[in-house]
Structure 1
Amino acid sequence: MTPTDKPLAGLRIVEVSSFIASPFAGLTLSQLGAEVIRVDPIGGAADVNRWPLTADGESIYWTGLNRGKRSVEADLRSEAGQEMVQRLVTESGPGGGILLTNQAGRSWMSHTVLSRIRPDVITLEVLGRTDGTPGVDYTVNAGLGFPQITGPVDHAVPVNHVLPAWDLACGLYAALCISAAVRRREQSGVGAHITLPLEDTALSVAGTLGYLTEPQVNEHSRTGTGNDVYGTYGTDFTTADGGRFMIVALTPRHFRDLVDLTGVRDAVDAVEKALGADFRREADRFTHRAVLNGLFEPWFARHSTADVAAVLETASVLSQQYRTFDDVVADGVLADNPMFAELDQPGIGRYLAAGFPAAFEGAHYTTGPAPSLGADTPAE
């Protein structure tokens, strides 16, 4: 597949950014065929040496997020450097005139200034908080409420999640917004000034999923449930040799299979009758999860990890053994998945790199390696 076959071929995006949300948006656009030029200050932005690193000190993080892009260094404090960035953004052509940045507040690359040079310019500014003040995934999450219901139910302090979910969601929204703005520009010839706060991304998702609706309608928010899945039946069990499985029974069929494979049909029927419950309903399975956990747990505790895995493979109940990242790589999952392709990344080495998760006509879009910092800087 050639770059011109990709959906966003012909677009040119200038990315002035660092850390996760904005570079992830650039990577997504690059995977879909856009030419993305990342602009860094001389010596690199604050994330150029961010962990994880190789044994030689190369940033696995930086190269991962900047695959397939071009790299330009500029003295962003000098007039010459600022003018160079302005030229890159506003160069003529139907696919150019697009700026993606999380460096808002710089007047020289504001939408107002750039639109004087190119009226149809599209700018997208990833912000921290809604009011424009700085914020990152972990500070936004701390102020939202999720850490208060994450972790064991008897744990009294907030638990941060290791996945920067709001950064990733914000990056995907940014890529979608730019694609939408390009389509509108093609139809009407107008540019766009888009602001996308990380905090609003989090609030939007939390509101959509009901976390912020509950306190408004029910006058209280949900409490933490540990590893139990909220509102349905799902929890984790430990096997005789220390393996651990996550089990989820979303439907009555899933639940029947779990009851039958653990051999506790009579006990579950008796509990259901005694409690006046109907375990065909998700609400009842969730409400009485502690009793049900106690009935299922002995079966898992009596059987080895291999035996449990073999039985679960034949059942409809949703299940997965807990694994480490090392386990995933060692199991050959990456090599078996066509989304991954071998990449020779200078400074890092050869490894299987993830492409775009959606397949177009059966093919996953991939990019080349990340450039060396400043490799595409124009000659003075």
Structure 2
Amino acid sequence: MNYFLIIFIPTALYLLSEILPRKSNIFKRIAIGFLIIMTSLRYGFGADFFTYNAAFDRIRDGISLDAFEPGYIFLNKFISYLGLPFNYLLLVVAIFNYVLLYKAIEENLTKHKWLAMFLFLAYFDLFFYSLSAIRQSIALSVFMFASRYVKRKQLIKYVLWIYFASLFHVTALILIPFYFFYNKFSKSSFSKLSFVMGGCILSYVFLIKYIDLLRPLMNTRIEYYVFIETSNGMHSSILYAVITGLLLLCWLFIITKLKNRPNIGATVGEKTEQKIGIPMMAMAVFLTLKVMQYMNYFSIMPRLEMYFYCFYIFAIPTALQAFEINSRRVLAGILVCCMIFFFILSYNQITEYAYEFYSTYKLIIFN
């Protein structure tokens, strides 16, 4: 089966739910059901598919695996205790992940939900990556759902959910400070936010330089995720970290300007700039960031960074609502075309060195 159908069918169903609001829930549920079926019935797709399959067999046979977290081991034991094969584990994970995705989209967006679904499926480090990183996909889904408690300032609930996520992937524990960071700076002025981000960029320099000093304090899993991701020279480029920070600040500034732009007394040229120029600039900055990510020019630890990619699927549709309706359509069209382009580039790149895992999306019923 062509993998790209998995991107477009749920997106089309979500788009139909906005065109035909009376049957909105039906189309959305079909879309979520389609994702659950397609991901749970897959066979051999993803670099870690056979690794997880073999681990399932070993856990079923009573062999201890220290490399996995207790929550994931328990889930394997439960499925094998019922006498069910590996794909039933994938089914449970798929139901869990996509029900949380559905709830997160419903809570965070009132319009352009189809775009959120498309971004989730087309953003290479979200849906596509989750087909290999099964454990971390669970943790990411929990974080995406638990972020509601950050905005509601419910610390205990947030920490409990993050602890639950860490039972499937230990890197989730790094997300606990996010609660304090968000509530401290979410309503800060642009200058204060710039100062904070500047500090983060500078701390990047010291992190890369002195991270070896922290190695004795790390357990095996943490050490693996930190050092395997920082060993690449491009991942430790200070210049690109600074450029990325500046681009993020530029994007935040443009979005702020869009939300507060004056319309009364504006000349024809100013109105044209507001309707077309500024929105195009905002998307240009976002797509520049996407290009840099594709080129691997910025990243300290992608395994930690990927948790925050899920906010793109909410931030972009929310930003579009600040534009005029014609600008929304133009921007949405440009964004869809660009994301498809970047996805094809990334897909071709990964199939060059892992062709056997990504060439064809196979279903176990046809294997």
TM-score (norm 2): 0.24
Higher relative contact order (CA 8 A, sep 6+): 2
Question: Per residue, is there more helix in 1 or in 2?
Answer: 2
Structure of higher CA gyration radius: 1
Question: Scaled by the length of structure 1, what TM-score is found?
Answer: 0.23
Higher strand share: 1
